[in-house]
Amino acid sequence: MGKLHLTLACWDYDRTRALQEGRVEVEGVELTYLPLRVEETFWRMLRYQEFDAAELSMGSYLLAREKGFPKFIAIPVFPSRTFRHSCIYINTDSGIRKPADLVGKRIGVSEYQITMAIWARGILQHEYGVKPEQMTWFTGSEEQPGREDKIKHDLPQGVDIRPIGPEQTLSAMLEQGEIDAMMAAHMPLPFVRRSPKVRRLIANFREVEADYYRRTKIFPIMHIVALREEVYLKYPWVAQNLYKAFSESKRLCQEAMYEFSALKYMLVWSIAEMEQQREILGEDFWPYGLEPNRHVLETLTQYAHEQGLIKKKPDLKSLFAPNTLDDFKI
């Protein structure tokens, strides 16, 4: 019996590279790994379900599960995690100096339901007392005109959300003062160019994020890996085998990160960075599996529910293939 051929769309991460390069194999599977940028993967999987498995935005996955379409089932692998205090940019003439100053202001975000924005809005509400309904939201393209939502969803009640024009971009609007602030996973081009009109809201974000983790033990999850439901129903064993392969690839990556006899990366003080990261986040700072991440997922689903993106908080176990939530013991 030959191997099952599967396609997997997932970006080129250090923690997935062994899987991408074939140094780690998925048992029983001939894998075609497509290292597409996340925006392309999300668009093609959410709109057209092109791949057997793919990295997905956690926010969009929650919406898809509640709506019942597209039909996906996830495995508890989280290839992308990022603190989001650093993702809010302001126009320097807006009068915004601290998070509380966002009240009454115009805020841009590419898509209201994206995971980055769910976390950023949740942090603003629970850490700084600023609620989404206290701002006016503008949605649309960050840098290239014509962006559309990857997944259709109902707009939350009581929140003023307005689409920008088809030829406008949020990045240009921010620099020109047509919006006061912007939430963005990518650094806006004016910020990259060091425009005097654009800066981060929280300049000392590293210190703030480290303090946030020490208090909450939350390292925000951005993406999961999901299978098309029809693939899982036909080949349920694929979910566990994919999970094992992703876990082994991450283990090899973490092992290599502690090799300092010769610098593998052009990060001169990488050993100092690793030691500081380990001191703050602990030894297993990027865990897979449901239970080690339960409190993070509970927080994310709470934020999505509070923000009107999902009607009720799901049972976390229902989000994942059951055979990836436990393992055999000898």
Residue 190 has pLDDT above 70, yes or no: yes
Q: What is the CATH number of the domain that holds 44?
A: 3.40.190.10
Around Cβ 85, how many Cβ atoms within 10 Å? 23
pLDDT in tens, 10-32: 999 999 999 999 999 999 999 99
Q: Which of 216, 239, 273 is the C-terminal boundary of a domain?
A: 216
Same domain, 101 and 16: no
Task: Count other Cβ atoms within 10 Å, centred on residue 196.
Answer: 9
Which one of 197, 216, 235 terminates a domain? 216
pLDDT digits (tens, 9 = 90+) for 62-108: 999 999 989 999 999 999 999 999 999 999 999 999 999 999 999 99
Average pLDDT over residues 287-295: 97
- Mean pLDDT check: name the lowest of 162-166, 219-223, 238-242, 318-322: 162-166
**Dihedral (Cα; 292, 296, 302, 307), 10-degree rounding:** -150
**Distances in whole angstroms, Cα of residue 319 to Cα of each of 90, 97, 231, 236:** 36, 39, 16, 15
- Identify the pLDDT of residue 326: 87
Q: Is residue 268 part of a domain?
A: no
Domain boundary among 216, 237, 260: 216
Kindly list the distances between the CA atom of residue 283 and the CA atoms of 88, 234, 241, 258, in Å, as whole numbers in the listed order. Answer: 29, 37, 25, 11
The model's pTM is 0.94
Pick from 53-62, 122-131, 172-181, 259-268: least confident:
259-268
Residue 225, pLDDT score: 98
Structure tokens at 311: 């009607």
Instruction: Provide the pairing of β-strand 160-163 with 72-75.
Output: unpaired
Specify if 202 maps to a domain. Answer: yes
Answer whether residue 234 is part of any domain.
yes
Is it the case that residue 153 has pLDDT exceeding 90?
A: no
> Hey, what's the torsion of the CAs at 51, 32, 82, 192, to 10 degrees?
-90
Tell me, yes or no, whether 94 and 169 share the same domain.
Answer: yes
pLDDT for residue 267: 84
- Asked if the structure places residue 201 within a domain, the reply is yes
pLDDT of residue 21: 97
* pLDDT 10s digits, 225-258: 999 999 999 999 999 999 999 999 999 999 888 8
Q: pLDDT band for position 1 (50/70/90)?
A: low
Does 181 reside within a domain?
yes
* Residue 275 counted as domain residue: no
Domain encompassing residue 69: 4-81+221-251+289-323
Residues with Cβ < 8 Å from 39, sequence gap 6 or more? none
> What average pLDDT does the segment 185-189 reach?
94
Check whether residue 140 and residue 210 sit in a common domain: yes
The per-residue pLDDT for 150 is 67
75 and 186 co-located in one domain:
no
In terms of Cα–Cα distance, which of 191, 173, 100 is closest to 137?
173
Domains: count for the chain: 2
